[in-house]
Structures are given as structure tokens and as C-alpha cells.
């Protein structure tokens, strides 16, 4: 029997695009969706999404904060529901601003050919790829992005000064006590259900791990990486998250919003997914990509 794919998805805006995104996938994909507690989806929008047969679970529970542990809480909530479906073979972490670059058939075939592999972009910490002590500052000091909106410049500065105060006082959260090698990378990943179940089981049996991850900065960029790269699944990891993301032209802490000028690069990238898609900047690109997928599927 062909295994299904679980898409664990966090969304906070653009309900129509979320509905369009779900429609891009076929019956081989199940959606488990968390809506930001403060999102502006109407009751009618939520009902439309819930009534899609590909949507197996939808919850509006947490206020998801950029850079905060609430992102992990959202994914764990969805994951605990997804593992109750015995026909799922792969789990994908996505957002409501992503888009597939291949047809559902091509995506399914890719994972059939690569069955048992974990697709996880990663690097060992400390790393020159991250600022602030090679990324260790994210873990060594308390960050308060679950309490404040870090996207606001004033709040970002407040957190920066709080970290400086901790350094002055000689504080250190001593992550070495976890006795695990530290890794970081992109939070978007595609892993086997067996690997994902291992992660959930570890979290359940080792509450000190979750406790250590709270009040870190952007834990979605190392929470699962540390677990997987310290597990028996490490030998099955491919260092690729299968995503096209434009960081070269990004401004600040978010990747470039993709537009029509990215089309050729996306199609020739060899990737399965892309981000960041947002209306109206991405509208023309989205139309061209949808047409490309339909042609790939043999549709007129």
C-alpha cells in the first residue's frame, strides 16, 4: 500500500492562498494545520478549510511568535495528531507561504525513490553561517520572543539589551549538560514518520530537553536538528531540505518574497518546494508555477 504524506503547516494570514495551496496536492497528502490564535481568518474561511477532505486536523490554539518556542509547540501539537494515522510514511514541516514546484505525482515518486532518507538542511554549531558566537548565543542566553513581538524594532532592541545584561552577569544556560552535539539549519524539513515518531518519543521521555529549548532564539532552526543528528537516524540524513529560498536578496531576518523574476530559477532548481509566497508580490509567479505544474501533470 502506498504511504501517505503528512504536511504539518503553520498559517497566520492569506486564507485564500492556504485553500489554493491545499488544492495543489492530491489525495496522497494529508494536512494538519495550526492557525495563529490571532489570525484574521473568518468563520467561513475556517469552515471551508476544515471541510476539505485532505485536511485531517485544524486547530487555532497558540499565538505564534517569530523567534519563539511557540513555533515548536505548534508543530508538536500537529505531530501528535499525525502519528495517529498509520498510513503516513513521510512528514513535511511547511508554512502557509510555501508552494510546491513539482506535481503531486512527482513529489510522491521522489520520496518513493528515496524512501528511508531524511531531508534536513543542517550544520554543526558553532558555525560561521550564524552570527552571535556562531549561533551559540541563541541557546546560551534567555530570549523572550514568546512574550514580545520581535519583529518590532523596539522589542528586538529590548531583547538584545537583556542578552547583554546576562552576559555582563556571567549567566550561561550550559547546554553541554544535555550531552548532545549541537546542530542548526533550516526549519523546513521532510523526514520519515519513523524518524518523526522518534523525535516525539524523545521529547515525551526527556522533558528536560523541551525545558532547555524554551526561551531560546528561533528554536525551530535547531530543535529537530539536534534530536535527529544525535539519533540512529543520523546516518540516513541528506543535507538538503528540498526548498528554494532566496536569502541572498533578503532584507533582515526574512527571505526574499518570490516574484515572477524568480520563475526560471525555481523551475531549474531541482527543488520540490519554495518559499516565500505572498500576495500581491507573488501573484504572477504563482500563476506561472500553477500552469507549469498542470502541464507537468498532462493537463491542458
Rounded to 5 degrees, φ, ψ at 14 are 50, 65
The answer to whether residues 74 and 170 belong to one domain is no
Looking at the structure of the chain, the number of domains it has is 2
The answer to whether residues 10 and 28 belong to one domain is yes
Q: Please give the pLDDT value at position 253.
A: 72
Average pLDDT over residues 166-189: 92
Read off the CATH number of the domain in which 59 is found: 3.90.550.10
DSSP state of 262: G
Q: Output the pTM of the full model.
A: 0.93
Q: Could you give the CA distance from residue 214 to residue 184 in angstroms, rounded to a whole number?
A: 16
3-state secondary structure of 227: helix
Length of the chain: 300
Q: Please give the pLDDT value at position 192.
A: 98
Q: Residue 92 falls within a domain, yes or no?
A: yes
Grid coordinates of 133 = 558566537
Q: Residue 162 falls within a domain, yes or no?
A: yes
The answer to whether residues 113 and 42 belong to one domain is yes
Q: Residue 261 falls within a domain, yes or no?
A: yes
DSSP state of 27: T
The answer to whether residues 118 and 137 belong to one domain is no
The answer to whether residues 139 and 103 belong to one domain is no
Q: Please give the pLDDT value at position 252.
A: 66
The answer to whether residues 279 and 171 belong to one domain is no
177-181, 211-215, 251-255: least confidently modelled range: 251-255
The answer to whether residues 70 and 141 belong to one domain is no
Contacts of 216 (CB under 8 A, 6+ apart): 69, 138, 139, 143, 222
Average pLDDT over residues 186-213: 96
Contacts of 190 (CB under 8 A, 6+ apart): 90, 91, 92, 93, 111, 118, 119, 241, 242, 272
Q: Residue 299 falls within a domain, yes or no?
A: no
3-state secondary structure of 247: coil
Q: Please give the pLDDT value at position 175.
A: 84
3-state secondary structure of 199: helix
The answer to whether residues 14 and 69 belong to one domain is yes
3-state secondary structure of 243: strand
Q: Which helix (H) or strand (E) holds 90?
A: strand 88-95
Domain that holds residue 139: 133-177
Tens of pLDDT, residues 101-131: 999 999 999 999 999 999 999 999 999 999 8
Q: Please give the pLDDT value at position 254.
A: 80
Amino acid at each position: 500500500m502506498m504511504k501517505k504524506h503528512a504536511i504539518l503547516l503553520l498559517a497566520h494570514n492569506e486564507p485564500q492562498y492556504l485553500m489554493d495551496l491545499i488544492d495543489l496536492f492530491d489525495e496522497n497528502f494529508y494536512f494538519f494545520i495550526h492557525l495563529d490564535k490571532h489570525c484574521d481568518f473568518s468563520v467561513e474561511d475556517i469552515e471551508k478549510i476544515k471541510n476539505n477532505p485532505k485536511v485531517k486536523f485544524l486547530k487555532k490554539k497558540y499565538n505564534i511568535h517569530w523567534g519563539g518556542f511557540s513555533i515548536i509547540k505548534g508543530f508538536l501539537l500537529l505531530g501528535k495528531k499525525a502519528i495517529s494515522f498509520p498510513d503516513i510514511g513521510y512528514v513535511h514541516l511547511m508554512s502557509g507561504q510555501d508552494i510546491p514546484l513539482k506535481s503531486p505525482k512527482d513529489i510522491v515518486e521522489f520520496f518513493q525513490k528515496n524512501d528511508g532518507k531524511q531531508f534536513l538542511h543542517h550544520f554543526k554549531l558553532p558555525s560561521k553561517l550564524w552570527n552571535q558566537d556562531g549561533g551559540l548565543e541563541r541557546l546560551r542566553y534567555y530570549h523572550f520572543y514568546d512574550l514580545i513581538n520581535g519583529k518590532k524594532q523596539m522589542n528586538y532592541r529590548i531583547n538584545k539589551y537583556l542578552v547583554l545584561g546576562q552576559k555582563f552577569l556571567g549567566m550561561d544556560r550550559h547546554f553541554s549538560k544535555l550531552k548532545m552535539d549541537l546542530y542548526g539549519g533550516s526549519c523546513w524539513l521532510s523526514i520519515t514518520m519513523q524518524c518523526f515518531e522518534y523525535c516525539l518519543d524523545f521529547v515525551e521521555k526527556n522533558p528536560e530537553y523541551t525545558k532547555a529549548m524554551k526561551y531560546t532564539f528561533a528554536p525551530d532552526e535547531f530543535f529537530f536538528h539536534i534530536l535527529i543528528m544525535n539519533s540512529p537516524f543520523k546516518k540516513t540524513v541528506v543535507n538538503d531540505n528540498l526548498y528554494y529560498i532566496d536569502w541572498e536578496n533578503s532584507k533582515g531576518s526574512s527571505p526574499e518574497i518570490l516574484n515572477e523574476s524568480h520563475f526560471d530559477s525555481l523551475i531549474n532548481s531541482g527543488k520540490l518546494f519554495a518559499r516565500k509566497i505572498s500576495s500581491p508580490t507573488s501573484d504572477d509567479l504563482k500563476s506561472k508555477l500553477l500552469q507549469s505544474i498542470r502541464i507537468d501533470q498532462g493537463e491542458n
